[in-house]
Chains A and B, each alone.
Chain A
Amino acid sequence: MGMLVDAVKTFNEIKTKLHDSSDLKSRQVQFFGTRITICYIAPITDNNLLNDSVLFPMTSEQVKPKEKVVDYLKNSVMSSIEVTEHNTIDSAIQKLLTGQTLILVNESDKILSCDTEKITVRSIAEPPTSVVIKGPREGFTESIKYNLALIRKRVKSEDFVVNMMEIGKLTKTQVAVVYFDSVVDKAVVKQITKKLKAINIDGVLDSHYLVSYLQEKPHSLFKQVGDTEKPDILVAKMLEGRVGIIVDGSPIVLTLPFILIEDLQNSDDYYSQPIRVTFVRILRFVGVVLAVLLPGIYVALEKYHYKILPTEFLVTIMNTTQGIPFSPFLEILFVVLLFEILYEANLRMPQYFGMAMSIVGALILGETAVNAGLVSPPAVMIVALSGITFYIIPSEAAQFSILRLIAIVIGACLGLYGVLLFCVFVLSYLSSFDSYKSAYLAPASPYIENDQKDFYIRKTISEMKKRPKSIANNHKNMNRRGKNED
């Protein structure tokens, strides 16, 4: 851009660049004889702010400027916090698109921009995905600024680092990589930043757009990127050495590295009594195993290994399955699918329907299916037990229901032997799975003694003196409290 002479001309140029977008508004003002064009994009500009920090000071200024108009405006008139000079139209347009107001001064080679951004955000509420009984109820919102504010509110340390970047050719979404400098493993941050910068995509509308770019094995069934909707969880994770990725427009913040145990931990765990939590944790572990394997084992036992069953139980099964038209496999499959359908339907339904739905689904459908002789009561019981145990896992773990289906098919094909080999296979697969230098099954394998305090046993916070070693972090500085060892 050369010498700017005419503000109107410049405005027209901007207008052309924005393809005559009709929400681009402008206003002409005379300032001690100099014509000034103010332009902004109406929906994202705060009118009050614009009026208070630009228009009102400009029109009420009494003293004639001695310096150049542009400099005078910038230094003495405008009361906005952020006033920037631009030498090119393109950089000015970038600001315009984020909600700032451009001030085009006649016979000046600079464009001023000032912050008049209108932030539209829903109020901070408790996120529905992670409800706690006792504990902080604040959740992230869709605004990255607010989200950062929520974190900053909790963290008053110079160690907290925010790395901003823009991703998306068209959306230019702001993405922040946040971490504690003294805790995090720098190599991990570097790796994540590199991966993020390499993303070439039209737009990022939610943080989950980034997940497949960040996963080390994008086609795997298993979750490899953690997510949270609550600032307290994010900070807790960062304190253990994880990196947070905040995306503007998404209340879900991603965390890396991710290990499997995180799916079984809940923020509530740290706000309640350790012994109870230990019990709940063990329940969750058993729950996962039951949820995944129980239907498969049941089919296997019924089809191949009746001799393993105690006679009394065998009698019950024989009595209840007589006259069922399906084979054990189809029977279980039928109930599992029924359950999955109910689950999906329940999820999408408005809440007040949901309640009625679950009663109809669980009670009436199950009962009538049994009475109609389509399925047997043990099958319903087994699948219901397996289904219910899914919900004691804090986060939604979709992979387990897929695993359950596979286990059922294998149980029907190969019996117990197949199910057992399947278990070894899954364990072996997960063991070979490293997420950003952290072993996926840690601290179980490799066994990490230090981290057993927060595994199936949860010791008190005061006993957890060191940061977890399962997660790749700055191993030089492991102490959570007291003097840092170096």
Chain B
Amino acid sequence: MKKIKSLFTPKKLVIWICIILLIFTLPTINKPAMSETQAIVTMLCIDKEEEKIKAVVTVLSPGQDKQAKYEVFSATGDTLASTVDSIALAIGKEMGFAQCEIMAIGEKLSEDNIMKTLDYMTRTKKVGKNAILTYFEGDIEEFAKSITMLAMEKSLKLEKIINFDKEYILAEDSNIESFYKGFFSDISIGIMPKVELTSEQKGNAIEVSSSGSSSSSSGSSGGSSSSNEGSSGSSDKKYIVTNGSTIVFKQGKKYYELSPSDVQKVNLFTNSSDKGTIIVEGVTDHIYDDAKVVVDILEKNSKIKVSFDGDTPVYSADVELIVFIDEVVQESPTDKFLVRNQDFFTEALIEKLKEKVLSSMNEAVNLIKEQNMDVLDIYKNFSRKQYKKFTEYLERVGMENYLQGVRFDFNVEINNEY
């Protein structure tokens, strides 16, 4: 009895546990690296194809030296889960989504509520919530291949491009996280950038020498997969365009497409994207003669104030732009000797700029009112800063019509110096 007792002192118990643990874990000691047993997905594109879900994944595979090599696989299935599974079955590896940096949503999929898809991917498949979310129109497989080409041949990564561009063109962070924030807010509006693949050059386009779509057949349930590796297809040029078109989602469905110029107008209200250019035409004074002037926005400070004037909600924006004159185009060049940038900064120009900015802002507001989509966080601002009055207001006019009754006050100041 004593012997048995002595086997179970805490000290010995610890040793026992370690021994049991070793028995359990030693077989796993020789398992290969995870990157060999898992397909590391870096991009995931989902769309609908004839009422079936189509998924295209870009998988990291070992390459030469420090270069990353990607392979594209696709499959279609009845549900997203079965589609992803069939890709896994086809390539004989588990799918690992932890490194997934881009998630692209296709045109047809976004006609329905995409939250189901996002939720499945983030919760079950553990796609990081900081993955970039984009919207795409066209053949999703071709898109995936082009993006892969871009990464492999030009070392340009779409997520880096989008992250950089958001300072210029996009209204918000464009990842799953911020889409969730928008979706779960009371007005349920989320936005994501649109990436286009075109055959003609326009906007901020990057050329991709697309290898064509050579063998992209895809079975429905067996999950046949295709790789773009080594296929030297036709030499038609493709361009990836990220010019700032932004898709507004309402209740998780595609609602409206903001054109690049719309986005620029909307951006005047936000601080998150503070770069851009303004072009004014027909500037005439002692320096200019019907000139076209391009100014760069160096910095933008927009102060949003919300208040109530009686029962009317007032949304006022004080926008201060610090600009730099980039280019002056006019037929007869000025004969004045001007050295400093400030010298070009005339009253007339300022007036013109103000006019332009104000009209842009008004256009943006009109668009928002017209489409009843609150991409300016008007609801959020009022509900946080004027909670009581705004709740009363909402009760009066109803949730759907709150935008119509809001009065907008703008004040623009343009400076040439810090």
Tell me the complex Cα distance, A311–B68, Å: 9
Pairs across A and B, CB under 8 Å, 28 listed: A302-B34, A303-B34, A305-B34, A306-B33, A306-B34, A306-B99, A311-B60, A311-B68, A312-B68, A314-B35, A315-B60, A315-B63, A317-B33, A317-B35, A318-B40, A318-B61, A318-B62, A319-B62, A319-B63, A327-B30, A327-B33, A328-B32, A328-B33, A329-B30, A330-B30, A413-B21, A413-B28, A414-B25
- Is A280 located at the chain interface by the 8 A CB criterion? no
* Closest CB in chain B relative to A414 CB, distance in Å: 6
Tell me the complex Cα distance, A414–B21, Å: 10
Q: Is the CB of A307 within 8 A of B98?
A: yes
Q: Which residues of A lie under 8 Å from residue B101 when comparing CB positions?
A: 311
Most buried by A among B25, B29, B96: B29
Most buried by A among B25, B38, B42, B101: B25
Tell me the complex Cα distance, A311–B66, Å: 12
Q: Which of A318, A327, A412, A413 contacts B35 (CB 8 A)?
A: A318
Tell me the complex Cα distance, A330–B33, Å: 11
Q: Is the CB of A322 within 8 A of B62?
A: yes
Tell me the complex Cα distance, A305–B38, Å: 11
Q: Is the CB of A306 within 8 A of B66?
A: no
Q: Which residues of A lie under 8 Å from residue B96 when comparing CB positions?
A: 306-307
- Is A435 located at the chain interface by the 8 A CB criterion? no
Q: Is the CB of B66 within 8 A of A316?
A: yes
Q: Is the CB of A314 within 8 A of B60?
A: yes
Tell me the complex Cα distance, A330–B32, Å: 10
Q: Is the CB of A303 within 8 A of B60?
A: no
Q: 1/0 per residue B35-47: CB within 8 Å of A?
A: 1001010100000
* Closest CB in chain A relative to B253 CB, distance in Å: 31
Q: 1/0 per residue A303-338: CB within 8 Å of B?
A: 111110001101111110110000111100000000
Q: Is the CB of B33 within 8 A of A314?
A: no
Q: Which of A312, A327, A414 contacts B31 (CB 8 A)?
A: A327
Give A328's nearest chain B residue, CB to CB: B33
Secondary structure class of chain A's binding surface, majority of residues: helix
Q: A-side interface residues toward B, CB under 8 Å?
A: 302-307, 311-312, 314-319, 321-322, 327-330, 409, 412-414
Q: Which residues of B lie under 8 Å from residue A414 when comparing CB positions?
A: 25
- Is B4 located at the chain interface by the 8 A CB criterion? no
Q: Is the CB of A315 within 8 A of B66?
A: yes
Give A322's nearest chain B residue, CB to CB: B62
- Is B65 located at the chain interface by the 8 A CB criterion? yes
Q: Across chains A and B, which 5 residue pairs bring their CB atoms closest together, nearest first?
A: A307-B98, A413-B25, A322-B62, A315-B68, A302-B33
Give A321's nearest chain B residue, CB to CB: B33
On whether A319 and B32 interact (CB within 8 A), knowing A306-B96, A307-B99, the answer reads no
On whether A302 and B67 interact (CB within 8 A), knowing A311-B101, A315-B60, the answer reads no
- Is B26 located at the chain interface by the 8 A CB criterion? yes
* Closest CB in chain A relative to B158 CB, distance in Å: 13
Q: Which residues of B lie under 8 Å from residue A409 when comparing CB positions?
A: 29
Count A/B pairs, Cβ under 8 Å. Answer: 74
Q: Is the CB of A306 within 8 A of B38?
A: yes
* Closest CB in chain A relative to B417 CB, distance in Å: 40
Q: Is the CB of B60 within 8 A of A318?
A: yes
Tell me the complex Cα distance, A409–B30, Å: 10
Give A329's nearest chain B residue, CB to CB: B29
Tell me the complex Cα distance, A409–B25, Å: 10
Q: Which residues of B lie under 8 Å from residue A302 when comparing CB positions?
A: 33-35
- Is B9 located at the chain interface by the 8 A CB criterion? no
Q: Which residues of A lie under 8 Å from residue B26 when comparing CB positions?
A: 413
Within 8 A of A (CB), among B159-200: none
Tell me the complex Cα distance, A412–B32, Å: 10
Give A316's nearest chain B residue, CB to CB: B66
Q: Which residues of B lie under 8 Å from residue A413 when comparing CB positions?
A: 21-22, 25-26, 28-29
Q: 1/0 per residue B68-87: CB within 8 Å of A?
A: 10000000000000000000
Tell me the complex Cα distance, A315–B60, Å: 8
Q: Which residues of B lie under 8 Å from residue A314 when comparing CB positions?
A: 35, 40, 60, 99
* Closest CB in chain A relative to B297 CB, distance in Å: 33
* Closest CB in chain B relative to A21 CB, distance in Å: 52
* Closest CB in chain B relative to A382 CB, distance in Å: 14
Tell me the complex Cα distance, A318–B64, Å: 10
* Closest CB in chain A relative to B329 CB, distance in Å: 43
Q: 1/0 per residue B90-110: CB within 8 Å of A?
A: 000000101101000000000
Q: Which residues of A lie under 8 Å from residue B98 when comparing CB positions?
A: 306-307
* Closest CB in chain A relative to B132 CB, distance in Å: 13
On whether A303 and B31 interact (CB within 8 A), knowing A315-B68, A413-B26, the answer reads yes
Tell me the complex Cα distance, A306–B63, Å: 17
Q: Which of A303, A307, A315, A319 contacts B33 (CB 8 A)?
A: A303
Q: Is the CB of B65 within 8 A of A306?
A: no
Tell me the complex Cα distance, A329–B30, Å: 6
Tell me the complex Cα distance, A315–B38, Å: 14
Tell me the complex Cα distance, A319–B69, Å: 9
Beyond the given A319-B66, A328-B33, A413-B28, could you list 10 further A-B residue pairs with CB under 8 A, ordered by the A residue number? Answer: A307-B96, A307-B98, A311-B42, A314-B99, A318-B40, A321-B33, A327-B31, A329-B29, A412-B28, A412-B29
Most buried by A among B33, B60, B64: B33
Q: Which residues of B lie under 8 Å from residue A317 when comparing CB positions?
A: 33, 35
Q: Which residues of A lie under 8 Å from residue B42 when comparing CB positions?
A: 311
Give A327's nearest chain B residue, CB to CB: B30
Tell me the complex Cα distance, A207–B70, Å: 63
Q: Which residues of A lie under 8 Å from residue B68 when comparing CB positions?
A: 311-312, 315
Tell me the complex Cα distance, A185–B22, Å: 45
